[in-house]
Structure 1
């Protein structure tokens, strides 16, 4: 049994079968006359003995394509007038060739062949819409294609078919290299030239894209190389450095708050070191480098980083002015005159003649620099001026006050900023050890709260312009607003220049009920809330003072 049914099997399919092929077929397989040496010419087997010719309809993937309509054929197969190979448009009667096959013509005179096989026994045949490909395989036209009318200039000269511009499979191959299409006619050459031109444009566009990518890659590689080299020079390569200890002289001012890196930058600007990193690396290798303080240094030109670090740690190179905690303004003036080589009294006169604006003092200072010359190390060079040095000290004090929020914290404590600075100056004068600062502050606060006289010897010493532990009964009768034996409350202002620790203690006194304290001897300060105990402590203090005098102290 074959796939066509029971009965005589069909011969193998031959692609040159004229039933599926060229226009104008009129005979056997070899295109001559029907039946010439071909037992199957012009007909197909009748497997069911119906007396009708069996027509393969859409078998093995082949099917006919007609204009969309239903076609009805008469009984007994193909009939129509024998009109010399012309097809009967009436569909009812028709002519056959000598072999019994219907002759086929184009009913619409389109120059194209209709389908060769129709339905049998009058059954309607629904045809697919559109025109079919001519040729032996009768493939369907892909969707979106249309056969051009006869005579269309861009139709294929052999088949009459033109798929239209840039469509389907033909569009895919329109950009291929057509160098092997050796068409000799002018139209062919024109088409090939057009395709090559379009291909050339594509190739040029591709070449430009490749060039752009290459430029971008080259730029990226160049940028990466540049930053890689910079990274190497910055972090991996040895720091540029001078050899040896250098020569000549150079004064370098290290500003307040400068880091090691900032110091290296200043040294590089002054020509002391070749690079800031050379100084930083040398400082990192020296444990004592953290002790380098702001100030003015006398150094040499073209020093190695290690040599610069070593010299800056040497006190001989430091042109800074060191102001210790608790120094009075009068003593500070003397130190400035000495450091600058000025006549004695020059700085004090400058301070008295300057107003608050010149010195940068706050309004509550009332023009008095006492308490605002912050203890620290200051840069003093050969060209420094006394007023500039004083201004630097006041500026440092203001920075400290901002740091601890003096105004806000004083308000919380129920005091003014001036009162806090005055308390801090008392603490700085009376406290001897670190652990005593908070306790002395508590005694001051408790006495002020209870309205008890402070009775501090330090206030009398300030009024008398001296520093002594011996306070006589006569001293306690000194008429001065700074005499806290006679005047209740705080003195008119600070009695020295307190540092950070004293200011913090004034704002945050240690908790306690102490009312009295006395330093019997260094490292032995006794605090108590009992008057009797305090009196005994005072007796011990007097004994220690007698021993010192006996020993010539």
Structure 2
């Protein structure tokens, strides 16, 4: 709706618009206040009748000298001389309609009942011919005579011949203009400021032309977009299927060169594979994971630092890591004395010999030992028995101090879980430190794990005050080896050993040595806590499958003879 004034009718256009209403066809507009039809002298004129609002706006007066407003007005009949004729009842004028089935056009002609219709005297007259302006008052000027005027209206029969929808024409025009570099088109009249006076209709002069074809360039662009979308989807689909079902990329062989790899704690197989791939060890993480899942020990690969090679097959990398051969780590073996641990740290970290031992002697008490440790003033090494046997990572940040701290912390965890204080009291020992010492003796004396429980019972039997077999002496060669820093079976004669003055010499002192003589593993600790019941005081290992235990010294001497025979056969 525009800001024009609205009359009582439904038409929203301004009355001065030449296309206002549908008032017939003459090529000129019907002016408000002019009569669309004159029927002769006043005596024969119909009295005005009330009209519908639509027709009320179209009534006006035309002087007889003016051209009738419609080109197909019926010729006026001679007026009859019979006065009774104008006494006939008034008839309402009826407008003539034009058009075929489903299409009706108001021609503007009015038929009056009782007035015969004759041939049209204006038939064949050019409706676009300029009409002579009349000088009668009330006649409006010709609105089609200036360049700024509206285009002349078209006959009803030519108004709807376009076969293409307006929106389609406008979109085609906009697309052509855009492809030609013209931006949004030559008639971007979205705000109603175009050629049609802002009414949103189609532009004049287009209806008679040939319907515009859709641009070939637009179709080409659409085709390119479709091909790109389909091609991209196909590529990603192919990549997905290839990754899911194709064999993983892999190197061949054992690899070359050397590279150090650090595997953090808690790392899964997939992340391990990605770390190895990032360092050039394997070609793909999937190849490593597949090989690890197929290997019997593949899922048990531990965290740590590994000495690997570049361009290894997944199978070769898993084999190296699963067996621990390539791991850049320090394995503390159960039964190792502290001096052995110190030397191993110096070697693996490429330090001068004695570096770690000096650090342990200086800072041993500050590495986290429990409060019950070092309960004997004659202890040779405060850390003995607390460098727990396990595998320790030798990453790039490893130092002697960091490694010793890890070992002590691991020992504290193992001993704390067993509640050594309560167990020591139950076994007749003075403190947990003595229990760790018993475990170190079991570890050192027992050659085979299946003998640990009985050896533990021998220790506790010899420690009994009423022992008449050894009289409270342990008589263990392992303590002599600890004192001398050696590992041999020929420690010397018993008489010579009893002369050796040392708090660790079990051939001279009664009871336990001053402290542990090594670092017991979990099996020896378990046996020290749970000795097998029995009366044994002696034992000797003949071979791997035979360890002979005895209650008396005579029985033990017979067992030793058998042991000597076995050694002679070796």
> What is the TM-score when the length of structure 2 is the normalising length?
0.49
Alignment of 1:432-443 (within 5 A): 432-443=447-458
Match of 1:484 in 2: 506
RMSD: 3.6
Alignment of 1:421-500 (within 5 A): 421-450=436-465, 452-471=472-491, 472=493, 473-500=495-522
Q: Residues of 2 paired with 1:423 and 1:455: CA distance?
A: 14
Q: Residues of 2 paired with 1:279 and 1:294: CA distance?
A: 15
Match of 1:519 in 2: 541
Instruction: Indicate which of 399, 403, 406 corresponds to 1:389.
Output: 403
Q: Residues of 1 paired with 2:270 and 2:373: CA distance?
A: 37
Q: Residues of 2 paired with 1:409 and 1:264: CA distance?
A: 45
Pairwise CA distance, 1:508 = 0.7
SS at match of 2:512: coil
Match of 2:169 in 1: none
Pairwise CA distance, 1:287 = 1.7
1:159-200 Cα distance to aligned partner (Å, 9 max, x none):
xxxxxxxxxxxxxxxxxxxxxxxxxxxxxxxxxxxxxxxxxx
Match of 2:427 in 1: 413
Q: Residues of 1 paired with 2:316 and 2:457: CA distance?
A: 49
Is structure 2 residue 294 aligned with structure 1 residue 285? yes
Is structure 2 residue 264 aligned with structure 1 residue 244? no
SS at match of 2:434: helix
Is structure 2 residue 393 aligned with structure 1 residue 361? no
SS at match of 1:449: coil
Pairwise CA distance, 1:521 = 4.7
Q: What residue ranges of structure 1 are gaps of 5+ in the alignment?
A: 1-228
Deviates more, 1:459-468 or 1:397-406: 397-406
Paired residues of 1:476 and 1:486 also in contact (CA < 8 A): yes
Paired residues of 1:432 and 1:523 also in contact (CA < 8 A): no
Q: Residues of 2 paired with 1:539 and 1:528: CA distance?
A: 13
Change (3 A) 1:401 1:238: farther
Q: Residues of 2 paired with 1:399 and 1:240: CA distance?
A: 45
> What is the TM-score when the length of structure 1 is the normalising length?
0.50
Pairwise CA distance, 1:364 = 2.7
SS at match of 2:330: strand
Paired residues of 1:253 and 1:296 also in contact (CA < 8 A): yes
Paired residues of 2:441 and 2:516 also in contact (CA < 8 A): yes
Q: Residues of 2 paired with 1:410 and 1:264: CA distance?
A: 47
Pairwise CA distance, 1:388 = 1.8
Is structure 2 residue 344 aligned with structure 1 residue 317? no
Match of 1:510 in 2: 532
Change (3 A) 1:244 1:523: same
Q: Residues of 2 paired with 1:263 and 1:406: CA distance?
A: 38
Instruction: Indicate which of 550, 557, 563 corresponds to 1:535.
Output: 557
Change (3 A) 1:417 1:428: same
Alignment of 1:75-94 (within 5 A): none
Q: Residues of 2 paired with 1:386 and 1:463: CA distance?
A: 25
1:496-529 Cα distance to aligned partner (Å, 9 max, x none):
1111110000001112111221234554321121
Pairwise CA distance, 1:318 = 2.2
State how many pairs are aligned.
316
Change (3 A) 1:269 1:442: farther
Q: Residues of 2 paired with 1:303 and 1:542: CA distance?
A: 51
Match of 2:69 in 1: none
Q: Residues of 1 paired with 2:565 and 2:312: CA distance?
A: 58
1:382-437 Cα distance to aligned partner (Å, 9 max, x none):
55322222222222222322444444444443433211111111011111122210
Paired residues of 1:340 and 1:382 also in contact (CA < 8 A): no
Deviates more, 1:345-354 or 1:499-508: 345-354
Deviates more, 1:364-373 or 1:484-493: 364-373
Q: Residues of 1 paired with 2:550 and 2:441: CA distance?
A: 18
1:108-152 Cα distance to aligned partner (Å, 9 max, x none):
xxxxxxxxxxxxxxxxxxxxxxxxxxxxxxxxxxxxxxxxxxxxx
Q: Residues of 2 paired with 1:474 and 1:260: CA distance?
A: 58
Match of 1:327 in 2: 336
Instruction: Indicate which of 353, 356, 364 corresponds to 1:347.
Output: 356
Change (3 A) 1:482 1:340: same
Change (3 A) 1:288 1:482: same
Change (3 A) 1:526 1:237: same
Match of 2:307 in 1: 298
Match of 2:59 in 1: none
Alignment of 1:9-20 (within 5 A): none
Pairwise CA distance, 1:348 = 0.9
Change (3 A) 1:238 1:250: farther
Q: Residues of 1 paired with 2:274 and 2:368: CA distance?
A: 29
Pairwise CA distance, 1:484 = 0.9
SS at match of 1:363: coil
1:435-464 Cα distance to aligned partner (Å, 9 max, x none):
210000011112223452111111111112
SS at match of 2:533: coil
